Amino acid sequence: MSFITPAQWQQYDRDGFLFLGKLINDDELTALQRRIDEIMLGKARLNYDRMLMQLDSESGKYEDAGPQTKGHKGETLNYRKIQDLEYDPVFLAFMQRPVFRDICTHVYGAGTPIACMRAMFFNKPSHRGTKLPWHQDRWTNFDRDPLVTIWSALDPATRQNGCVELIPGSHRRVINPSHGSGFLTPEQMVEHCQQEKAVYLELKAGEVALLHNWTLHSSDVNRSETSRRAFSICYMDANTKAKGGEKYPVIFGDGALRPEELGIAASTV
């Protein structure tokens, strides 16, 4: 655990997030950018029927975004969300970096197998994007909460293009346990999400942040020419039980997915 110092872990415990710096070099960044564009344009050699894909809203309103369903929805770079990227060999290889394994070991304990709750691309195209309301990343269908999210900037993330906004220290308790996906009520937003408390998660392309899943966050629409593409990975204890019996792929530990098992990546990557 030499990458993150004890002082940084103390900061993370206090704030609920931690800047990790540039963990993606320029060649790796280009490969990830090219790969996600191939996936959006329907040119990647993978099984789209297992990918959850959602088109961006035209209005910018969260409730107007397209349906989140499996399958490709047309050749466009205006997707809002693409999930199940652990089944893409390029993104899986990134997810299995030792630094992320070490973070999971620190949070979940040595020897705990780690699964992927979700591996998700987020996108706010130029002068578009969907406003994301304040919420915590937690769900009522698990017997224990996932706690680790790695958020990687594939483009510069700025206030102008809708970077993530966080409330430091808000990870210490679940605020709206009755909501299935952790979204706050309007009254709770007024109480817990005053704008003067918010911190903007501004990152350069290739920079990465560690987030506690309970840290309150939101994001605005993109008001700039620059797209805001990002890759978010939620790691959880692989012993977690889902109420519906869903199974989640192991990323670290016995039986972990391997990129070579998923087929050959596109030749342009």
**pLDDT (tens digit per residue) in 7-50:** 999 999 999 999 999 999 999 999 999 999 999 999 999 999 99
**pLDDT (tens digit per residue) in 202-234:** 999 999 999 999 999 999 999 999 999 999 999
Q: Angle CA(48)–CA(81)–CA(257) in degrees, nearest 5? A: 55
Instruction: Please state the pTM of the whole predicted model.
Output: 0.93
Identify the pLDDT of residue 264. 53
Domains of the chain plus CATH, in order, are 20-58+76-262 (2.60.120.620)
Q: How far apart are CA 68 and CA 73, in angstroms?
A: 10
Sorting pLDDT into bands at 50, 70 and 90, what band is 268? very low
Q: How far apart are CA 203 and CA 155, in angstroms?
A: 8
**Tokens describing residue 235:** 């790691």
Identify the pLDDT of residue 173. 96
**pLDDT (tens digit per residue) in 68-110:** 999 999 999 999 999 999 999 999 999 999 999 999 999 999 9
Identify the pLDDT of residue 265. 47
